[in-house]
Amino acid sequence: MTSTFHRPRLVPRLIATAAAGSLLALGLTGCGGATKTSTDAAASSAAAGSGASADPNAPTKKGLTVAFLPKQVNNPYFTTSDGGGKTALTALGETYKDVGTTSATDTAGQVSYVNTLTQQQVSAIAVSAQDPGALCTALKQAMSSGVKVVTYDSDTNTDCRQLFISQAGAEALGRSEVDLLGKELNYSGQIAILSAAQTATNQNTWIGFMEDELKKPQFANMKLVKIAYGNDDAQTSFQQTQGLLQQYPNLKGIISPTTVGIKAAAQYLDGSQYKGKVLLTGLGTPNDMRAYVQDGTVQAFELWNPAKLGELAAYAAVALASGQISGAQGQTFTAGSLGTFTIGAQGVVTLGQPTVFDKSNIGQFDF
Ligand code: RAM
């Protein structure tokens, strides 16, 4: 496919930080003592470009621009995650840029942004994919023109990026949400899932593990009756919740693995006859969910720290753009105060474990 310049529909939100010379000394200084050989660099990995050689002791390049392209720019979750990216890039004296669509289902818009960033020859793109396949051609063009590509939060196909910065193990996330709801419901009753976009890689992966978890004998009396899609839009998610309750009056629980969805579902339940009767869990931010936990609409839910996810994506992008890593399994890089990370199979780097929030701890978190 030829490279076509598409003008983004939105004016990019540009929050650039100029390189501050004195801060550069704080930058990456190699890989925390890891000794990597060219054989390591060529180690097997499905990630595109990972066969390229890497030098863990290469200096951090100066004057890099890393562009964040979230699923959706007006989503507080991404404001926080990308803010973490900005923090990291500012600390390194590099330039941060943030562009994206207001809708989480504007796949064509997201592709346009990738093309524009490629034209602009940014050093690296950190993207949360709205749709795994749709971005591939554009991301491959970006990589072949020298732009490094990191996905974070929501992945594309493994050959369409160099690294995926994963928030937490997808399997543990999916299974634990079912386990949380199962305990709350005494393992009995109809349940539904309120997801984000139908194409979202992250939600679909988690849902796959939820469905698998539900096959275990202890869930024999819990039945998943519907997966609804709120498209990470507050109003659609609210209406979908209402629709679920109308269609399934005996519904006992909802899992919403999206910060927008769980907030809208909590809002709906809170103002309805179902408050405290239909239980809700999933992935939300403590700030969005605090009131609903305190008033008993929601007992427990999960999330990782989105700011740390963005920070890690930024450090990974800078390490790639500096040639310290190439994306091959086993390579390591340092991510400031987050520590040293090792690239796993298929170019996946995992931030850590999610936190379960409930009445006992929600007061301690502010994001
Ligand atoms: C929404 C988005 C994002 C997801 C979180 C949990 O903000 O769908 O991709 O990771 O929820």
pLDDT score of 304: 97
pLDDT confidence bin for 10, thresholds 50/70/90: very low
pLDDT confidence bin for 32, thresholds 50/70/90: very low
Nearest protein CA to atom 3 of ligand 1, as residue = 258
**Structural domain contains residue 4:** no
Q: In whole angstroms, give the CA distance from residue 270 to residue 291.
A: 10
Specify whether 313 is located in the same domain as 294: no
Higher pLDDT, 362 or 1: 362
Specify whether 180 is located in the same domain as 158: no
Q: In whole angstroms, give the CA distance from residue 121 to residue 125.
A: 10
Specify whether 161 is located in the same domain as 212: no
pLDDT score of 251: 98
Residue linked to tokens 């196909």: 157
On the question of pLDDT at 13 being above 60, the answer is: no
Question: Which structural domain, as residue segments, surrounds residue 202?
Answer: 170-304+356-364
Q: In whole angstroms, give the CA distance from residue 26 to residue 16.
A: 19
Q: Is the CB of 140 under 6 A from ligand 1?
A: no
**Structural domain contains residue 1:** no
pLDDT confidence bin for 174, thresholds 50/70/90: very high
**Structural domain contains residue 157:** yes
202 phi and psi angles, rounded to 5 deg: -65, -50
Q: In whole angstroms, give the CA distance from residue 96 to residue 87.
A: 9
Q: In whole angstroms, give the CA distance from residue 73 to residue 138.
A: 20
pLDDT score of 20: 30
pLDDT score of 182: 98
Specify whether 184 is located in the same domain as 161: no
Q: Is the CB of 341 under 6 A from ligand 1?
A: no
On the question of pLDDT at 74 being above 80, the answer is: yes
DSSP line for 201-250: HHHHHHHHHHHHHTTSGGGTTEEEEEEEE-TT-HHHHHHHHHHHHHH-TT
On the question of pLDDT at 28 being above 50, the answer is: no
Specify whether 246 is located in the same domain as 189: yes
CATH number for the domain including 158?
3.40.50.2300
Q: Is the CB of 251 under 6 A from ligand 1?
A: no
On the question of pLDDT at 300 being above 50, the answer is: yes
On the question of pLDDT at 49 being above 90, the answer is: no
pLDDT confidence bin for 339, thresholds 50/70/90: very high
pLDDT confidence bin for 33, thresholds 50/70/90: very low
pLDDT score of 42: 34
**Structural domain contains residue 70:** yes
On the question of pLDDT at 171 being above 90, the answer is: yes
Higher pLDDT, 301 or 41: 301
If one counts the domains in the chain, the total is 2
Specify whether 34 is located in the same domain as 162: yes
**Structural domain contains residue 294:** yes
Q: Residues 126-148, buried b or exposed e (16+ Cβ, 10 A)? A: bbbbbbbebbbebbbbbbeeebb
- Burial (Cβ within 10 Å: 0-12, 13-18, ≥19) of residue 8: middle
On the question of pLDDT at 360 being above 90, the answer is: yes
Specify whether 39 is located in the same domain as 137: yes
Query: 267-272, long-range: CB within 8 Å, 24+ apart, which pairs?
Result: 267/238, 267/292, 268/238, 268/241, 268/242, 269/241, 269/297, 270/295, 270/297, 272/245
Nearest protein CA to atom 2 of ligand 1, as residue = 258
Mean pLDDT in residue range 237-265? 98
**Structural domain contains residue 9:** no
On the question of pLDDT at 27 being above 90, the answer is: no
On the question of pLDDT at 8 being above 70, the answer is: no
pLDDT score of 53: 82
Q: Which atom of ligand 1 is nearest to the CA of 104?
A: 8
pLDDT confidence bin for 145, thresholds 50/70/90: very high
CB 67, CB 122: distance < 8 Å: yes
List pLDDT tens digits, range 151-166: 999 999 999 999 999 9
Specify whether 206 is located in the same domain as 327: no
Query: For residue 26, how far is its CA from the centre of ligand 1 (angstroms)?
Result: 31
Q: Which atom of ligand 1 is nearest to the CA of 259?
A: 11
Mean pLDDT of the chain, nearest integer: 88
Specify whether 64 is located in the same domain as 117: yes
Q: In whole angstroms, give the CA distance from residue 280 to residue 282.
A: 7
The proportion of the chain whose per-residue pLDDT surpasses 70, expressed as a percent, equals 86
pLDDT score of 152: 98
CB 52, CB 41: distance < 8 Å: yes
**Distance between first and last Cα of the chain:** 42
On the question of pLDDT at 310 being above 70, the answer is: yes
Residues in the chain: 367
According to DSSP, the β-strands at 340-342 and 332-334 are antiparallel
Q: Is the CB of 168 under 6 A from ligand 1?
A: no
Specify whether 176 is located in the same domain as 253: yes
Nearest protein CA to atom 6 of ligand 1, as residue = 258
On the question of pLDDT at 11 being above 60, the answer is: no
223 phi and psi angles, rounded to 5 deg: -120, 125
On the question of pLDDT at 359 being above 80, the answer is: yes
On the question of pLDDT at 4 being above 70, the answer is: no
**Structural domain contains residue 12:** no
To test the pocket of ligand 1, the residue of 80, 153, 231 to mutate (highest count of ligand atoms within 8 Å of its CB) is 153
Specify whether 176 is located in the same domain as 162: no
Q: In whole angstroms, give the CA distance from residue 258 to residue 274.
A: 21
Specify whether 213 is located in the same domain as 276: yes
On the question of pLDDT at 43 being above 80, the answer is: no
**Structural domain contains residue 328:** yes
Mean pLDDT in residue range 248-276? 97
On the question of pLDDT at 34 being above 60, the answer is: no
- Least confident range from 4-18, 42-56, 135-149, 253-267: namely 4-18
